[in-house]
Structure 1
Amino acid sequence: MRHIPTISLRLVVLAGLLASLVQAAESDPEYRWRILANIGADTVNLTLTRHDGFNTISQTNSVPLSSLRGLERSDMYGGPASFHIRRDAGTLYCKGSFALGVGWGSVTFHPDPRFLSELKEIGFRDVREDQLFDLAIDNFRLSTARELRAACKCVQTVDDVIELNNHGVDGYYLGRVTRLSSPLSIEAITQMKDHGVQISLLEALQSAGYQLPAESVTELQDHGVGASLIREMGPRLNGAGNAQDLIELHDHGVSPEFVRHLEEAGVNPSIDEIIQLHDHGTDADLVSAAKGAGMDKPVSSAIALQDHGIDTQYVRNMSQSLRARISADELIQLHDQGISPEFAERVAQSGFKAAGPEQLISLHEHGVPAELLTQAGRSHRVSFTTDEIIRLHEQGVDAEFLHSFDAAGYENASAADLIELHEHGVTADFARRLQSEGYGSLSVSQLVKMKDHGM
C-alpha cells in the first residue's frame, strides 16, 4: 500500500479549495425571490436577492399582490408558481413554489434596453447587468438618476446612484448639501443622510461662518446641536472654534441668551471660559463688575467670587468705597471677614489712610469707631498707622479726647504721647489751665509730671 505524504495531501486539498473559491467569485450572479403572504391583506412581503460570489444584495418590501403579474392569492396556498414583476430597469421573471403562504424560487432578469439607453444618455457608461438588477429590485426610476446627476458632479457612476438611492438621498438633498458644504464624497453624503443631518443645520453653519468637514457636521447632529442654536450662537462667536466647541457649549447647557448677556456686559471670554462661567453659575454682570474693579483676569476672578458667595453689588460697592483697584483674593478676604462696603466707605470718608484689606480687617476686628478715624485723619497733623490707631482705641483714647488736645495745640502729639496723657489722667482742660497760669506750651512729659505732682 502506497502512502501519500501528509504535506502533499494538504496542498492538494488547499489547491482544490482555492479553485472552488475562485470559481465562486467568477460565477454569474444568482437571483432569488421569496414571498411571505399577509393574511387578509392585498399586499405581500417580497424579498429579492442577488448572490454574486461572496456578495449578497437583498431588498424586502411590502408590495401589492397585483404588481406580481400572473400570481393569484390561491397560488400561495401551495404548489408551483410563475409570475413576473415589471420595473423601469427591466422585468424580473420569477419561478418557484409555495407552501402555506410562503414562496421561494429563482429569478431571471431581463434588462430594459430603453432604460439602459437613457442611462447612457444621462452620462452613465459601462452599466453592468447586476447594477441594473439592483436598480430594478429597488424600483429605481430614471427621473431619480437625472436628478442626482444634475444635482452634483460627484455622481459619476451607476454605483454612486445606487449608493445614494439606498440611503434615501434625493436630488434636492444632494444639491443643497453640496452647495452648503466643502467638496464631499458619496460616502460622506450618505453618512450625513444616515445621521439625520438637516439642510437647515448646514444653512445655519454657513451663515455663522463655519466651514466644517462632513464628520464634524455629523458629530454636531449626533449631539443634538440644532440649527436654532447655531443661528443664535454662531454670530456671537464670530465663527470661532470648531465643532467640538459647539458640542461642548451644547452639552454644558450654555444658551445663546447666556452668551448674549456676556456680550452686552462687554465681556469677550473664550469658549472654555464661557463653559466655566456657566458651570459655576456666574453671570455676566459679575464678570463685568470684576473687570470694572480692575481685576487682571475678570473671568477667573468672577468665578472665584461666585464660589465665595460674593455678588455683583458687593463688588461694585466695595470697589467704589476703596477707591482703588482690588484683586479677587483681597475682596474674598474682606468678604470672609465680614467687611461691608458701608464700613469701607466710612473709613474712606474719614480721611484715614488704611492702605489695604488687611488694615481694614484689623480696624474692623478691633472695633475702631469711624469718629476716631475721622479725627485722626482730618485734624491731627501726625499720621497714625493702623496699629497705632488700634492702640489708641484699646487704651481708651477716643475721638473727643483727641479733638480736645488738637484744639489745645497738641496736633503733633504721637500715639504714644496721647496714650501716656490718657493713662495719667491728663486732660486738655488741665493743659489749658496751666497755659493760662503762665506755664506756656508744655511738653507731654511736663504735663504728665505736673499732673503726677498734683498741680
Structure 2
Amino acid sequence: MIRMFAFLAAIFVSIVAVTSATAIASDGGPISFRIDADRGNAGEVKATFSKRDRKHNEWSTGIPVNQLEGFSVASLRSSSSQPVRFAVVRDAGRLDCAGTGSRSVASGGCTFAASAALSDFLASRGVRRPNEDESFSMMALNVRRDLVEALHAARYPAPTPEDLVGLTALDVNTAYISGLSRVGYRPPNLEALLQFKALNVTPDYIEGFVRHGYGNMNPDELVQLKALDISADYVASFQRVGYRNLTADQLVQLKALGVTADYAQAVQRGSAQLPSPDKLVELRAIGFQPR
C-alpha cells in the first residue's frame, strides 16, 4: 500500500504536467505565449504557453534562453514596445512565436509543426506514429530520440507516444537506463521502469545492497525497499549485530514498524540468543520497550 501510494503520487505529478501541455495543442486553437525575462533561474526566462477554448489551459516552464532561437533578452529591456520573434525547436517539433515586448515582458501567438522526421524514426523503432496532440506533448516535455534508442537497445517493449511522454516527465534518460544495466538490473517492462524512477531507485542505491550481499533481489523487492526508504546502511546496521540473512520481506516489516538494530540489541540484553525478526516485529507491534 505504501509503495503504491508513493508511486501513484509521483505519477500524478507527471500526469498533471503532461495533461497541461497536451491541452494547449488540442482542438486546433491558437497558442499564445507570455515571457517574463525577470523570472526563472540564471540563464532562463519564465515562459507560459496558453490556449483558450472552452477552458483555459497553460504550460508554464523555466526555459533556457539558448533554447529560444532568435530571442534576445537585451531587446526586451526597452521601455517601448519591440517586435519579438523566437522558435522552440526540439526533436518532436517546432513552435514558432511572434509578438511584442517591453520592460522584460513579451507576449504574442505561436504555431506548432510536428516533426515528420521524428515520426518516421519512431515508426522505424516499432513505435506508433504520434498524433498532433501527442507530438505537441512530446515537444513540450522534450522527448528525445536518444531515449527511444536507449529503450530499444535495452530491449524494452516498444513504447507508445504516451509512454515516452511519461518517461520523459520523470526524467528517465539514457544515463539512467544504462546505469541500471551496469549494475545488473533491467526492470521487466516500462511500468516497472517508471516505478523505479518515480521512487528514485538509482544504480548507486542498488549497488549499496549488492555490497552487503543482496545482489539477487528482484525489481519488485527493490521498489518495496525504496518505498519505505530502506537503505543499505539500514541493512548493514542489522548485519553488525548479527542479523546476516534478513529477507527483503523481513526488512520491510522491520522498517514499517520502526524496528532498528539498536532496538534489537536492547531486546537481546539478558538473553544469549538474538530475537528472531518475527519476534522483533511482534514486540514492536504491541509497544514493548526494553529497559
Give the TM-score, by structure 1 length.
Answer: 0.45
Secondary structure of the residue aligned to 1:68 is coil
Counterpart amino acid of 1:197? V
Counterpart amino acid of 2:220? P
Matches within 5 A, 1:270-281: 270-273=277-280, 276=283, 280-281=289-290
The CA distance in 1 between the partners of 2:188 and 2:141, in whole Å, is 28
The CA distance in 2 between the partners of 1:26 and 1:64, in whole Å, is 26
The CA distance in 1 between the partners of 2:55 and 2:193, in whole Å, is 27
Cα displacement string for residues 393-451 of structure 1 (whole angstroms, at most 9, x for unaligned residues)? xxxxxxxxxxxxxxxxxxxxxxxxxxxxxxxxxxxxxxxxxxxxxxxxxxxxxxxxxxx
CA RMSD of aligned residues (A): 4.3
Is the 8 Å Cα contact of residues 59 and 138 (structure 1) preserved in structure 2?
no
> Bigger relative contact order, structure 1 or 2, given CA contacts below 8 A and separation 6+?
2
The CA distance in 2 between the partners of 1:258 and 1:180, in whole Å, is 34
Going from structure 1 to structure 2, the CA distance change for 1:151 and 1:105 (only over 3 Å counts) comes to farther
Is the 8 Å Cα contact of residues 71 and 86 (structure 2) preserved in structure 1?
yes
Which residue of structure 2 aligns with residue 199 of structure 1?
203
Counterpart amino acid of 1:228? D
Matches within 5 A, 1:47-446: 47-49=48-50, 56=57, 58-64=59-65, 67-69=68-70, 71=72, 73-75=74-76, 77=78, 78-151=81-154, 153-174=156-177, 176=180, 180=185, 183=188, 186=191, 189-202=193-206, 204=209, 207=214, 210-211=217-218, 213=220, 217=223, 220-221=225-226, 223-230=228-235, 233=238, 236-239=244-247, 241-242=249-250, 244-248=252-256, 251-254=258-261, 258=265, 266-267=273-274, 269-273=276-280, 276=283, 280-281=289-290
**Structure with larger Rg:** 1
Counterpart amino acid of 1:60? T
Q: Could you say which structure has the higher helix fraction?
A: 1
Going from structure 1 to structure 2, the CA distance change for 1:57 and 1:194 (only over 3 Å counts) comes to farther
Secondary structure of the residue aligned to 1:236 is coil
The CA distance in 1 between the partners of 2:55 and 2:158, in whole Å, is 26
Gaps of 5+ in 2: 1-23
Is the 8 Å Cα contact of residues 208 and 231 (structure 1) preserved in structure 2?
no
- Percent of matched pairs sharing the same residue: 21
Going from structure 1 to structure 2, the CA distance change for 1:240 and 1:167 (only over 3 Å counts) comes to closer
Gaps of 5+ in 1: 1-23, 282-306, 308-455
Is the 8 Å Cα contact of residues 217 and 243 (structure 1) preserved in structure 2?
no
Which residue of structure 2 aligns with residue 46 of structure 1?
47
Kindly tell me the number of residue pairs found equivalent between the two proteins.
252
1:127 shift after superposition: 1.2
Counterpart amino acid of 1:194? A
Q: Could you say which structure has the higher strand fraction?
A: 2
